[in-house]
Structure 1
Amino acid sequence: MELRQATSGTCLALAYERLELRAIKDNTYRSYLQTLRALEIEDLPIEKATVRELGRRLSTVITQSTRRKHAVNLQACLGVKVSTPAPKQKLYDLPSVQEVREAFAESKYRPHVYGMTFAGMRIGESLVNQPLKGNVVNIDRQRTPQNAITPAKTTGPVFVPEWFAEEYATYELGAINHATVYRGVKRRAKKELGIELNPHALRHLFATNLVQLGAPPEVLRRQMRHHDVAVSLRYYVQTTEDDITSVMARFA
């Protein structure tokens, strides 16, 4: 298994050290390391990986089962026992949709970023070609960090702009893996936009943009492929004071 080089004194270095002492399957090993990546603590100094800090990061994970899995993995990787707190909305420094479109227009990650921004795909869903009919992308599969093709976490049709549907039909996806896209998107966003942009934030941008465009709750729910619109509104849509001021300025 090819492993990323770890800096001494970081969570990733400690995880390598602890996991070397255990006889575990490759898939389990990858799952442990994926937790560090998902919580963005690979390069976090060990002394900063406190129970409080790890708990704070776990609280940004919406799904209870995923939080529980990450908590178990953290104990295996770092030897730290963390409870699974109730989820909280993770707020991102979101650029505008137009800024994202321009920043990645000439990037090799354009297909993936546009899929996340204009179709609300998760990163794994953006790594494979989804069925397309007209201007509807039927999202039903994903590529995992282990490079396996599995059913998408949530499935369903997503209506996309006509220009994007035409462009999406030309995409040939699958040559770039999960970790490469994750790191590449973050690097380009930092360079072109001057912000820290986690690829998952693009799904938040998709939801927020839908609301700003006046999408009714049911449209938001269906486009996000959530069973309950409360999940979309509570954890994905970001509202600023400027948004409130803009609405009230039109209030008659």
Structure 2
Amino acid sequence: MKVQKVVKPDNQISWLVLDDKFKPVAPILEFTKFLEATDKSPNTIKAYSHHLKLYWQFLTQDDISWTDICIEDLANFIRWLQSGDQDGVISIVKRDAKRTNKTINLIMAAVSAFYDYHSRSGKVADLKIYRDGAFSGKYKSFLHHITSGKSIQSRVLKLKEPKRGLKTLTKPQVQQVIEACNNLRDKFIICLMYETGMRIGQVLGLRHEDIKSGDNQIAIRFRSNNENNARSKSREDNLVDVSSSIVSLYTDYFIHEYGEVESDYVFVNLWDGEIGAPMKYGSVITLFKRISKKTGIDVTPHIFRHTHATELLRAGWDLAYIQKRLGHSDIQTTANIYAHLSSDDMKKELAKFRGEKCH
């Protein structure tokens, strides 16, 4: 089995799960079309396709029909994911889990969404994957927009994930990363993400009309037809205030490097690839790998979002303001991710409470 990338006539990208005879797996294809119809991002469809390919491998290996499934089968699938016995050989020796609980939960979320869709369309019986309960602010079912106002559901088969500290950068590390950039374009990308907390999809989808230089603002807009398949995760437009230094950096980049390029996109290929074409995710990943190797600092695009939000929190910003700046639809999302405190944070706040100086 394999997951095949498909480029449609309108240059939109999608993904197909092919069986061993290189034919699309019909139930997955139907679900994928539903995802496309509800305007899910290509990255979401790609992830779901890879997760469902694993699920179909499990079904094929154990000769189970996808419509003849019970909770016990799904529990066995979890154990199959943990053991890594994709070759059908079961080890009698205890081994470490091949996948983290977080990864398995992501795979199970795709499987649950798949069955949620097909049960609602009448293809399979309700598998009782979800349990009803009062909304805790931490979970929305896959079809929440259809079932809003009704009882809230959470998945029955969900593994406990260990809490990990959020990775952020110190100000000296951020400065070191900025200094590692070889040109104004790359420096602008880093500075923009650090100062605004924008996701890389939002950055790559920026058009010149989104830069409000006179107001020191940047408009973050949802567009589903970007040439580079970049997307803003949120469908809500958001205006983000920026410093005059960010606007100046944009101006310098536009004058000194962008030059005669004719494009609506802010970030384009200038030295390699198709000159003038909007930058793609792969180009940014390559940039960050180079910077990580040069500085010895493990940096990813999303680490700047975490760093920005953490700095705002430590500066005393209310979560409601951080939610608005990051474009989260629910303040609980902001709280779950960013309301974290280190021992140093606790020490400083306690010293402030006592009126002491913290060294």
Name the TM tier (shorter chain): 0.5 to 0.7
Q: CA deviation at 1:212?
A: 1.5
1:189-208 maps to which residues of 2 (within 5 A)?
189-195=292-298, 197-208=299-310
Q: CA offsets, 1:117-155, max 9 Å, x none?
A: 111111111113251222221211468998235565243
Q: CA deviation at 1:180?
A: 2.1
Q: Which residue of 2 aligns with 1:10?
A: none
Contact 1:207 1:237 in 2 (8 A): no
> Counterpart of 2:353 in 1: which secondary structure?
coil
- Is residue 229 of structure 2 the alignment partner of residue 148 of structure 1? yes
Residues 99 and 69 of structure 1, relative CA distance in 2, 3 Å threshold: same
Residues 69 and 114 of structure 1, relative CA distance in 2, 3 Å threshold: farther
Structure 2 counterpart of 1:232, from 324, 330, 334: 334
Moved more, 145-154 or 26-35: 26-35
* CA–CA distance in structure 2, aligned partners of residues 145 and 85 of structure 1: 36
Q: Which residue of 2 aligns with 1:159?
A: 241
* CA–CA distance in structure 1, aligned partners of residues 301 and 294 of structure 2: 15
Structure 1 counterpart of 2:99, from 50, 53, 62: 53
Contact 1:142 1:151 in 2 (8 A): yes
* CA–CA distance in structure 1, aligned partners of residues 21 and 227 of structure 2: 19
- Is residue 226 of structure 2 the alignment partner of residue 132 of structure 1? no
Q: Which residue of 1 aligns with 2:22?
A: 21
TM-score, normalised relative to structure 2: 0.48
Unaligned runs of 5+ in 2: 7-15, 37-41, 51-82, 87-95, 115-154, 255-265, 269-277, 355-359
Matched residues, number: 220
Q: Which residue of 2 aligns with 1:113?
A: 190
Residues 116 and 33 of structure 1, relative CA distance in 2, 3 Å threshold: same
Q: Which amino acid aligns with 1:55?
A: N
Q: Which amino acid aligns with 1:148?
A: N
Contact 2:101 2:161 in 1 (8 A): no
Q: Which residue of 2 aligns with 1:78?
A: none
Q: Which amino acid aligns with 1:116?
A: M
> Counterpart of 1:104 in 2: which secondary structure?
helix
Unaligned runs of 5+ in 1: 4-14, 38-45, 74-81
Q: CA offsets, 1:27-84, max 9 Å, x none?
A: 99976655699xxxxxxxx94998772532365x7xxxx98348779xxxxxxxx956
1:73-112 maps to which residues of 2 (within 5 A)?
91-105=165-179, 106-107=181-182, 109-112=186-189
Q: Which residue of 1 aligns with 2:267?
A: 173
Q: Which amino acid aligns with 2:321?
A: V
* CA–CA distance in structure 2, aligned partners of residues 31 and 152 of structure 1: 10
Q: CA offsets, 1:11-30, max 9 Å, x none?
A: xxxx9996883437899997
Residues 142 and 236 of structure 1, relative CA distance in 2, 3 Å threshold: farther
* CA–CA distance in structure 2, aligned partners of residues 97 and 19 of structure 1: 51
Q: CA deviation at 1:104?
A: 2.6
Residues 121 and 47 of structure 1, relative CA distance in 2, 3 Å threshold: same
Greater relative contact order, per chain length (Cα 8 Å cut-off, separation 6+) = 1
Residues 95 and 177 of structure 1, relative CA distance in 2, 3 Å threshold: same
TM-score, normalised relative to structure 1: 0.65
Contact 1:101 1:114 in 2 (8 A): no
Q: CA deviation at 1:214?
A: 1.9
Moved more, 163-172 or 198-207: 163-172
* CA–CA distance in structure 1, aligned partners of residues 161 and 197 of structure 2: 21
Structure 2 counterpart of 1:68, from 92, 98, 109: 109
Residues 118 and 98 of structure 1, relative CA distance in 2, 3 Å threshold: farther
Q: Which residue of 1 aligns with 2:357?
A: none
Q: Which residue of 2 aligns with 1:8?
A: none
Identity of aligned residues (%): 16
Contact 1:90 1:235 in 2 (8 A): no
Larger Rg: 2
Residues 129 and 146 of structure 1, relative CA distance in 2, 3 Å threshold: closer
* CA–CA distance in structure 1, aligned partners of residues 17 and 351 of structure 2: 55
Q: Which residue of 2 aligns with 1:248?
A: 350
Q: Which amino acid aligns with 2:211?
A: L
